Amino acid sequence: MCKAYSPKLIEMCKKVASDLGVDVKEGIYAFAQGPMYETPAEIRALGILRADAVGMSTVPEVIAARHANMNVLGISCITNMAAGILDQPLTHEEVMKTAKEAENKFTLLVKKVISVWEV
């Protein structure tokens, strides 16, 4: 699991994103069992571990894919700030609104990545 995500696929995705004008960031994605919003204390703990984002999916799927010797690329849409970061409560409506706003660019990026992916 030292290189769970393929460096070759990451570079290809970054180039595709740049060509499309889609802003992407790299970071450390932490997994938390859901469905739930993490508490401010959990977010502080994950910050100590240098996590940049946290979510309820991706990691178990990546572990299974790597176990099957698959090349993996992870693309996530970050839909909300974590608990305790902003002075406002977390809401499911915020998550849905942000996901809807990102939908077109996210879909365009994923479709283009798939179309240029060399198996």
The more confident residue out of 80 and 43 is 43
SS3 assignment, position 53: strand
Q: Is the pLDDT score of 86 beyond 80?
A: no
Q: How far is CA 73 from CA 34, 35, 93, in A?
A: 22, 23, 28
Cα–Cα distance between 31 and 12 in angstroms, integer? 25
Model's pTM, two decimal places? 0.83
**What residue type is assigned to position 4 of the chain?**
A
Average pLDDT over residues 21-41: 90
Percent residues over pLDDT 90 in the chain: 66
What pLDDT does residue 31 have? 92
Burial of 64: CB neighbours in 10 Å, binned 0-12, 13-18, 19+: exposed
Q: Is the pLDDT score of 84 beyond 80?
A: no
The catalytic residues are 38
Yes or no: say if 5 and 71 are a contact pair by the CB < 8 Å rule.
no
Which tokens sit at 61? 């799927």
Cα–Cα distance between 65 and 79 in angstroms, integer? 24
pLDDT band of residue 18 (cuts 50, 70, 90) is very high
What pLDDT does residue 119 have? 61
Average pLDDT over residues 74-97: 85
Which tokens sit at 50? 């240098």
* DSSP assignment string, 58-72: SHHHHHHHHHTT---
Average pLDDT over residues 17-24: 95
What domains can you pick out in the chain, each with its CATH number?
7-116 (3.40.50.1580)
- What is the rounded average pLDDT for all residues in the chain? 91
Q: Is the pLDDT score of 113 beyond 70?
A: yes
